[in-house]
Structure 1
């Protein structure tokens, strides 16, 4: 074997080795690219899932917020309607006059009188009822009209001797009736089942 043949064999062997190295490198490069593409696909899938989750969460928050706002608006509308009904009732009560007003005022005064013995008693009432109260108080010994009380009607009766004050105004009666029947009033007004 000549030196040239040996050199040629080494060169052939080197070329074969270079081909193998190149093939291995290309295979490794393909594996790296495939792995990178798989990682990229996974990252994209995770990002899409995150975006979808965020969109769903935001949608749920907006839906929840809209439901809460709608509920608050319904409650506010109900409050307004109940207040309107109450105002109408107050206006009708304030408009009671004549014998009916006298009868109701006497009943409230009689009910308040049970708290007082033979004491001197001061009676307060609505400014427009001064004449009515003065006439009614003529029938009660030791009772005198003492001035105005801001109310729809009825009486506030007090005595220094017993330090008792009884509020028997139309307002206080309405407040008790309103509170005791608010659920039924609301149910009837808004067609709800009780």
Structure 2
């Protein structure tokens, strides 16, 4: 075997080994590229899913926020409507005149008078515009006298130092009681669906 032949064999062997290394490198490079592409696809899918979740969450938050705002607006509108109704009732009560005012005031005074013992000195307060009416009504009650005015729509506040009793029979206090007791029913009637 000649040196040329040996050199040629070594070269062939080196070429074969180089080809083998190149093929292994290409195979490994292909595997790395495939793994990288698979990883990139997985990352892309995860990010798409995350973006979809974020979009859904933001959509849900926006819908919830809009529903809450709408509910608050409805409640505010209802509250405003109820306040208008109450103001109208208060205006009507304040505007009661003549025999009807006299009759209502007398009934409230009678109910309050039941809380006091005979012989007590009883002070009666009422609306400034009702002073003459109260003076007239109190002629029938011993020991009762108009003691001043009370800021109200009508009716009376009656009190006695001796018994330390105070009765608030004003239109305002009765309206408050009736309003609170019937608010749900009133609201249901006004805002039936």
TM-score range, shorter chain: over 0.9
Which secondary structure state, in structure 1, belongs to the residue aligned with residue 166 of structure 2? strand
Matches of 1:172 and 1:131, distance apart in 2: 22
Aligned twin of 2:38: 38
Superposition pairs of residues 1-194 of structure 1, within 5 angstroms: 1-118=1-118, 119-192=120-193
Deviation track 1:61-117 (CA, whole Å, cap 9, x = no partner) reads: 111011011101100100000010000000001000000000000000000011101
Equivalents in 2 of 1:81, 1:60: separation in Å? 31
SS in 2 for 1:161: coil
Instruction: Could you tell me which runs of 5 or more consecutive residues in structure 2 were left unpaired when the two chains were aligned.
Output: none
Following TM superposition, the consecutive aligned residue runs of length 4 or more in structure 1 with deviations greater than 2 angstroms are none
Count of residues in Structure 1 that have an aligned counterpart in Structure 2? 192
The TM-score normalised by the length of structure 1 is 0.97
RMSD: 0.7
By how many angstroms is 1:143 displaced? 0.5
* Rounded Cα–Cα distance in structure 2 between residues aligned with 1:124 and 1:187: 36
Normalization by structure 2: what TM-score? Answer: 0.98
Q: 1:177 & 1:10 partners in 2: Cα distance?
A: 114
Report SS of the residue matched to 2:147: strand
1:16-68 CA-partner distances (Å, limit 9, x unpaired): 11001001101100110111011001101101110110111011011101101
Tell me how far apart the structure 2 counterparts of residues 60 and 141 of structure 1 sit (CA, whole Å): 72
Offset, 1:138: 1.2
**Matched residues in 1 for 2:29 and 2:186: separation?**
81
Counterpart-to-counterpart distance in 2, 1:60 and 1:153? 53
Structure 1 residue 161, shift from structure 2 partner = 0.1
